Structure 1
Amino acid sequence: MSFDFFTLKTYRANHPAWRLLCSDHAPLIVSFLHKSFIEPNERLMEESRLSEMLEDTLFQLREQLGEKAFPKTAKEYLNDWAATENAWLRKFYKTGSDEAQFDLMPATEKAISWLNQLASRQFVGTESRLLTLFNLLKDIRQGSELTPEKRIAELEKQKYEIEQEIAKVRAGELFLLDDTAVKERFLQFSQGAKELLSDFREVEHNFRQLDTKVRRQIALWEGSKGELLAEIMGERDAISDSDQGRSFRAFWDFLLSQQRQQEFSELLEHILSLPAIRSLHSDLQQHIHYDWLEAGEHTQRTVAQLSQQLRHFLDDKAWLENRRIMEIFRSIESKVFELSEDTIRGDAMNLNEAKIELALPMERPLYAPVQKMQLENTILELGAENLADAQALFQQSRVDKTQLIQHIRQSLRTESQISLQKIIENRPLEQGLAELVSYLQLDQQPYFKLVIDEEHQEKISWQSGNKIRNAVLPKIIFTK
């Protein structure tokens, strides 16, 4: 980026992040969007839910600043923030839904991230950053070395250093990081983990820009369809083969590895249990890699939806071309009828039928043999009277999921996470298996998240009449 006067002037006038920082309502916009999207790692929010949250925020601010502080309604503010001249939010409609959806734009997240860096930090770590830079240079040199002898020499050097360290450990000489070094490295990891989440929105935004470019290209294309498809596939391959595309694909493959996920969970659980890390009161969640996975899946779904919409767009283009062909056929027919015997005398050719019939082989249906219906002369006999007790039909029970949600939220007020087994111990199942299954259906809630730990199992028991029923299932954890 060039930092000359006119470039910065253009950025100040046109870049959404700079316009957000210059806005009179920047404190309201940044604080609300940070609380609504970034803190809970929300990718999409419905208009009704987001406007309700903004209405509560405006009500609280008006009580403190006066009724005239923010005169507009919540929906009006959301529409202003999503307008083209601001572009701080993206407003769109899902396929098959008539309710608007909102998502945070990458430029808005960059502005919020920059403001977050203005806050005073506990301390500025320099050692860990220097070591990270040093290790990156070593990785680049080792990964780009073409001479086998030099690479073997470097590996032998690493082997010697590892053997020396093993010898020191066996002799009782343990090198441990002090609390300052542990905090420094963890804060650097925490910052990188949050920045990685924001990168997904920028990757998704880049794919949307590619989709817009391709749609414009299709609408203005005047050549053949084969050349158009070759051009589109070339653009798609260019994105996939770019540095960003290859990096995202390598990251996604690494994240989908079950072994890597388990190793990452064990490392993070161990580090968060250290006294030096607990004293930081870090807001980094223990399942941050699951947030990465969720954000990555959302990006992949967005790319799939764009591909499907592009296919429909191409189909519509083909339909318009076919419609143009039919209009040409009808114009030919009308010209033939105008050349009737009353208007043309002399050498004229008579047409038996002024219509072009098209019969393509692939449009003909396959042969299907006719199935003959077999009729049987069966004499109906009078059946026995049904002596079953129908009282069980009137003894059906309904599980109130609202009460289950309230109980989970009350349990999470004092703890950051709680298992399903502990919840049922505090409040035993009253409706048996039906109530247990209802707990498992509470995975799409705005107040908490449901995480399944496949590596561990838990046993849940409940009273059913005079018997004790047991169920063994993977460990279910509810987190904030």
Structure 2
Amino acid sequence: MQLAKLLVYFDTSPALSLLRSTNAPFIIDFLNQQFKQGEQIAWAHSDLIAALVAYQDNLQDTDPGKLPSRADGYIAEWCSSETRWLRRFLEADSDEPSYQLTPHTEDVFAFLDLVLGKDLGFVGTESRLKLVIDLLTDLVVGSSDDPETKLEYLRTEQRKIQEEIEQIQRDGLVATYRPDQIRDQFSTAVSILKQLQGDFRAVEESFRDITLEVQQQQVAGLAARGGILEYALNAEDVLKKDDQGVSFYEFVNLILSPLQTEQLEKIIAEVRKIPELSSQQEGMETVRGMVSLLQREAEKVMRTNQRLSTTLRRLLDVEAHAERQRVAQLLQEIRGLVVSFDGRHDCEDVGLTIEDSAAIDSPFRRTFWTEPTRLEVIDLTEFQPDEDARSDVFKKYAAMHRLDWRAMRKHVEELLKLRPAPTLADVLDEFPPTAGVVEVLGYLQIAKDDDHHIDTSVEIPLSIPPMQDNANWIEVRVPLVTFLNKRRNGHA
């Protein structure tokens, strides 16, 4: 720790400016309620404003005169370049800005959790010492390529396990943790979990910085597209090979693995049954939502990485557009030559050579793995069917419209003869749906099954006519679907 670094940190740190601010306890309490206790990573502008207004109303009863200004003014101040306590951004599928905590605010929460020990009332010194010893031991064994070192460690562990097995078989007694040790271990686990939540902001900031740099270079036109693409790919590659990036992607593989997730949920369910932890309500709530929260955090960082991929894809699409224009120009020149040779029979060296090679597609078009939807298991052993309800369901089922898949595909083929790359909106304009929203879903299924282009990063609004008279039109938002002919979408 150097004096020069301390002076710079105390002068420029947003975390310290938050702790020093006039209404620091109330600001931190509000942000904690919204982003930590609420287990929500990001908040829409209108929702966050409404929550702050409600918080200010409650303060008038408990602490009059605190946070007296307008809620939207506070939100604007907290995400300004001077404070940087919140980050303001715009989601692709939203018409209003959203907010999330910055790494500086995460540092404040980590510091206060460590100092105050507010979760459990104490700091787990014994469990932390054991954790340090286990980590150092594992480091020594894992970093050594000496077989004897590894074998000695495994034999020692084997002896400990065998002695414990023999003791249980001999005495019938199992050695358990003391109540203070249980709470100690639980305190350490919750503390590490909270620190882990804040670590995501640093990785996300790295992806965001690369994306911003690519966008700035593209807008400024200071570098060729090839140079911008090279910078982005090299920066992303360095980030993934960095210790922080490697650790993060290994974490993603772990938390998004169905097997590991199921095992972790079983462990959490057993932890919640421990009677010594019955009074640790806040810590239990943190652990209870641990799996879903970490998955949302990981998915949000991956979406930030996807935005980098989208930026690169747009960059490549611009170059592809220029290439298409060049091809159109060449075709026009070919037509002109054909016209000039019309009627001449003495030309024996006139021909056309076509270079046919494998199509290359960007790997950034591939989406990341998402966990399949889990269906709720309902016990129907004592279920008594309602005849009227069942009859009503069958009537609704009978009234459902059957989709004519052959006719729908014919509609797409007919429009492809008129236009080079019609969208789903073009198809619905030309052939209005008669089966409501279900027919729109049918076209989406056709696009997926027949390998047409579906861009999930862009959504378009559609107005679906009603199936009944005097009913309202239905407004839906769907991905951008572009139908391609068979040669262009890969089918011979």
- Shorter-chain TM range is 0.5 to 0.7
| Cross-structure match for 1:101 | 98
Distance 2:113 2:278 in 1: 22
> Once structures 1 and 2 are overlaid, which stretch shifts more, 13-22 or 458-467?
458-467
Aligned length: 349
Distance 1:95 1:240 in 2: 25
Distance 1:311 1:229 in 2: 10
Q: How many Å apart are 1:34 and its aligned residue?
A: 0.6
1:235-293 Cα deviation digits (max 9, x unpaired): 11000111011101111111122222222122221122111111333433323112111
Q: How many Å apart are 1:297 and its aligned residue?
A: 1.3
Distance 1:357 1:288, change over 3 A: closer
| Cross-structure match for 1:39 | 37
SS at match of 1:83: coil
Distance 2:137 2:385 in 1: 62
Q: How many Å apart are 1:104 and its aligned residue?
A: 1.3
| Cross-structure match for 1:475 | none
Distance 1:161 1:60 in 2: 57
The AA in structure 1 aligned to 2:386 is S
CA contact (8 A) 1:221 1:228 kept: no
SS at match of 1:165: helix
Listed as ranges, the gaps of 5+ residues in structure 2 are 336-371, 394-492
The answer as to 2:330 corresponding to 1:360 is yes
| Cross-structure match for 1:226 | 226
Distance 2:334 2:30 in 1: 60
| Cross-structure match for 2:402 | none
TM-score of the two chains, using structure 2 as the length reference? 0.64
RMSD of Structure 2 on Structure 1 (CA): 3.4
Distance 1:157 1:361 in 2: 77
SS at match of 2:281: coil
| Cross-structure match for 2:447 | none
Q: How many Å apart are 1:39 and its aligned residue?
A: 0.9
CA contact (8 A) 1:255 1:261 kept: yes
Identity %: 26
Map 1:67-466; keep pairs closer than 5 Å: 69-119=66-116, 122-172=121-171, 173-219=173-219, 222=222, 224-285=224-285, 286-312=288-314, 359-360=329-330, 457-459=378-380, 461=383, 463-465=385-387
Q: How many Å apart are 1:73 and its aligned residue?
A: 1.2
Distance 1:20 1:48 in 2: 23
Distance 2:332 2:131 in 1: 63
Distance 1:292 1:362 in 2: 56
| Cross-structure match for 1:335 | none
CA contact (8 A) 1:105 1:201 kept: yes
CA contact (8 A) 2:204 2:304 kept: yes
The answer as to 2:66 corresponding to 1:59 is no
The AA in structure 2 aligned to 1:50 is L
Listed as ranges, the gaps of 5+ residues in structure 1 are 327-355, 366-450, 472-480
The answer as to 2:15 corresponding to 1:17 is yes
SS at match of 2:379: strand
Distance 1:162 1:357 in 2: 72
| Cross-structure match for 1:398 | none
The AA in structure 1 aligned to 2:152 is A
The AA in structure 2 aligned to 1:82 is C
- Ranked by relative contact order (alpha carbons within 8 Å, sequence separation 6 or more), the top structure is 2
Distance 2:115 2:159 in 1: 44
SS at match of 1:103: strand
Q: How many Å apart are 1:94 and its aligned residue?
A: 2.2
TM-score of the two chains, using structure 1 as the length reference? 0.65
Q: How many Å apart are 1:184 and its aligned residue?
A: 0.6
Distance 1:205 1:266 in 2: 33
